[in-house]
Every structure is written in structure tokens, then in C-alpha cells.
Amino acid sequence: MASSRAGGCRVVSRCVQALSGCASFPLGASYWNRLKGGHEFLCTRRDAHTAYGYSLLINPGEVHAPGPIVPQGWVLRAFYFSNDFFTGLSRSLGLGDVRFSQLFVRNELLTQTLLSLHRRLEQSGTRLELESKMLSAFGEVVQHHTNVRLKNRNPKAEHHKVRRAKKFLIENHRRVITLKELTGVAEFSPYHLLRSFRSIVGLTPHDFLIQIRVERAKRLLRIGNTISDIAVDTGFVDQAHFTRRFKAIVGVTPGQYLPSRMYRMR
């Protein structure tokens, strides 16, 4: 079993072999995605067998007991939210008490979104990126599989707030920026900031920030700064994070950027 944490969310990848008996997790909320094998599931809402591809949405305080239906066990990925973290996510969406309305969900797009988020949380990344991805994914779950509905806003009416957010990102791109800090500048909820920013700018706040950092990194490379110094100076988590993001945008690594550029200039 592999496990990592992001604030009040524990991210788990687990291969369960012939688990017997039952287990209950009465605190917090959790999301499970079945990657391989089948399992039986006892819950206060419903008892059933599920197979590959189903996701489980378990409410805070809901006792549940999983177990395999085949000797080989099963493979799963899971998020375990603390009560405080779950409540914080709900409030970030401008909502109060949120409860999942469906226990078993078979939705390929949602499954891929959550699976991508799970894998991303196992890697290094900026706080703004991880917070944004978590909130966006949770918003999708709330939109389609809870007892509430998110309010639709007209993003075009939020231009002035998005401009403030952009200005803040540009002026502070060299340091750690949190989603809470950015929403304070823009003066609206985190979830609606993410939606409006992307609708107007064409990028998420995090992707916009990465573009700014990469452009600065290119200038620093041209004047001879070292890659390790640039990674720190432009606000990346570490050199590996910088290299990965740089290559994704420019198409080459920082180490390859100058030689290829010099060759084209000859």
C-alpha cells in the first residue's frame, strides 16, 4: 500500500489480497476507484457487489465494510478526507452541508479526472496546483453526485476580478501562492475563481503562473544562470519540477534549450 497526504486528504493506492472480516471508517469522507478485481461492499445506504470501473462515494460518518469477492483480492485508489478538510472543500464551493447522493458511480470522465488527480498528488507540485486540481475535481463530483447544485455564474461579468488575480500572479510569481490568497485578491469563492479565470484567460491560474515562470526561466537561461538557481528563483518546487514543466511548454529541457537555440541562430 502506498500513501501520501495533502492537507486533510490522505491519498492511498492499495492492493488488497484476500482480505477477510470487515473494516469500518466512520470519520471523514472517502472516494474509492476500483482499478482491478471485484469486491463486496456493506454500507448503511446499500449492500452490493461491484466490479472494475466503479467509483464509490462515501459520506462523512458513514460506516462501511469492504471485502473481496475473489481470492486474488482487488486493486484500488482512494482519497480519505478528514471532516475539517471535507467541510473546507464544501465551503470553497460556496456550499454548506454536502452529501453524496449516490454510493456507486460509473462515469468514465469522472473516473479519469479523479484518477489523474490521485496520480498527480503522488508527485511534487506547487500548492496552488494541488489545491486547484483538488477543488476542481471535487466540484465535478458535487455538480453531478450530491444533494446540492452549484450556482451558475456569467464568467464574462467577472473580468475585473480576474484582472486583479492575473496582476497578483505576475507580481508574485517567484514565491509560493495559495488558492486562498488568490481568492482574497479576486474577492470571490475559490471554485468560481477557477472557472471564471479559465473561461476568460483560457488557462487555469496555476497554468498561467507556470507560463510566467517559464518565460522568466528562458530569460535567465539566456544570460547564463544555472538551472538549479533558476528553479529556485522562479518559484518551482525543485529542479525536477522545473525541468518537467519547462519541457512540457517549450518542448525541450532547460539543458537542451540554449544549445538548440544557439544552433538555430548560426
H, E, C per residue of the chain = CEEEEECCEEEEEEEECCCCCCCCCCCCEEEEEEEECCEEEEECCCCEEECCCCEEEECCCCCEEEEECCCCCEEEEEEEECHHHHHHHHHHCCCCCCCECCCEECCHHHHHHHHHHHHHHCCCCCHHHHHHHHHHHHHHHHHHHECCCCCCCCHHHHHHHHHHHHHHHHHCCCCCCCHHHHHHHHCCCHHHHHHHHHHHHCCCHHHHHHHHHHHHHHHHHHCCCCHHHHHHHCCCCCHHHHHHHHHHHHCCCHHHHHHHHHHHHC
In the predicted model, is pLDDT for residue 244 greater than 80?
Answer: yes
In the predicted model, is pLDDT for residue 232 greater than 70?
Answer: yes
Q: Which of 68-77, 107-116, 198-207 has the highest mean pLDDT?
A: 198-207
The reported pLDDT for the residue numbered 206 is 92
Q: What is the mean pLDDT of the chain?
A: 75
In the predicted model, is pLDDT for residue 163 greater than 90?
Answer: yes
More confident residue, 4 or 57: 57
What pLDDT band is residue 27 in, cutting at 50, 70 and 90?
very low
What pLDDT band is residue 110 in, cutting at 50, 70 and 90?
confident
In the predicted model, is pLDDT for residue 247 greater than 80?
Answer: yes
In this predicted model, what pLDDT tens digit does every residue of 65-91 receive, in sequence order? 666 666 666 667 777 777 777 777 777
In the predicted model, is pLDDT for residue 156 greater than 80?
Answer: no
More confident residue, 136 or 89: 136
In this predicted model, what pLDDT tens digit does every residue of 182-192 receive, in sequence order? 999 988 888 88
